[in-house]
Amino acid sequence: MDKNKNHSESDKKDAEKIKPKTEQESSANNSEKLNDSKHPENKMPPKHVWWLDALYFIVGTLALGGIATLLGWPMFKWDSYPKPMGMAPDWLFSVAWTIIYIAIGVATFCMWRDKELTKKDRKFNLWLYFIHMAFNITWPLFFFRLALPIVACVWLAIIVVLALITTWRYFVANIVSGIIFCVYMMWLIYAFYLNVSICILL
């Protein structure tokens, strides 16, 4: 009996020694997780496949570009519009916009996959992308189909402002995204110049 009693008391002492250590280690691990600046909630889920994300953004942006073409077709009165100085040939616009929509998709993909970006900033930038694209794809409706170049000019000014904000946000998030949007901004400024010139020459 004494031996069993001594064994049970020693087992209790061993358990008490082990228990605080385990609790201490678990609490230390929890504090490290909470204090980690690269918390998993700020990162992309590891199950995401990068090329699928790229496909979603690029094909999705091209699809929005297709909607823009449908909204602008047929191009009433386009042939009667005065052609300002520096006007590119018609075929170049379709090629340029196709490349630009692909570039916008690539820029958004690079922003979305940046590991240093927080979940909150990623969602905010994505909302900017959708709002900007909503204005972008509806511009041909005013300029081409409805033949309202002045309204289209105001609409394009809003697009330029939204694109400028998006460029800044993308540049902060990912330098590649920012550079791509800077090139896109140059094309938008050129398009705005043409739109304003047509309004003046009418």
154-183 pLDDT per residue, tens = 999 999 999 999 999 999 999 999 999 999
The Cα-based distances of 47 to 43, 50, 52, 55, 194 in angstroms read 11, 9, 11, 16, 46
Whether pLDDT at 67 is above 70: yes
Predicted pLDDT of residue 22: 47
> Domain map of the chain by residue range?
51-201
For the stretch 115-137, pLDDT in tens is 888 999 999 999 999 999 999 99
Question: Can you tell me the distance from the alpha carbon of 19 to that of 40, in angstroms, rounded to the nearest whole number?
Answer: 29
Which of these ranges, 24-33, 64-73, 131-140, 152-161, has the smallest mean pLDDT?
24-33
pTM, whole model, 2 decimals?
Answer: 0.75
Peptide bond into 74 cis (omega under 30): yes
**Gap between the Cα atoms of 158 and 24, Å rounded:** 57
195 pLDDT band, cuts 50/70/90, is very high
Pick the CATH number of 51-201 from 1.10.1200.10, 1.10.260.40, 1.20.1260.100, 3.40.50.620: 1.20.1260.100
pLDDT at 41 over 60: no
Query: Amino acid identity of 29?
Result: N
Predicted local confidence at residue 23, as pLDDT: 46
Which token pair is 133? Answer: 């694209």
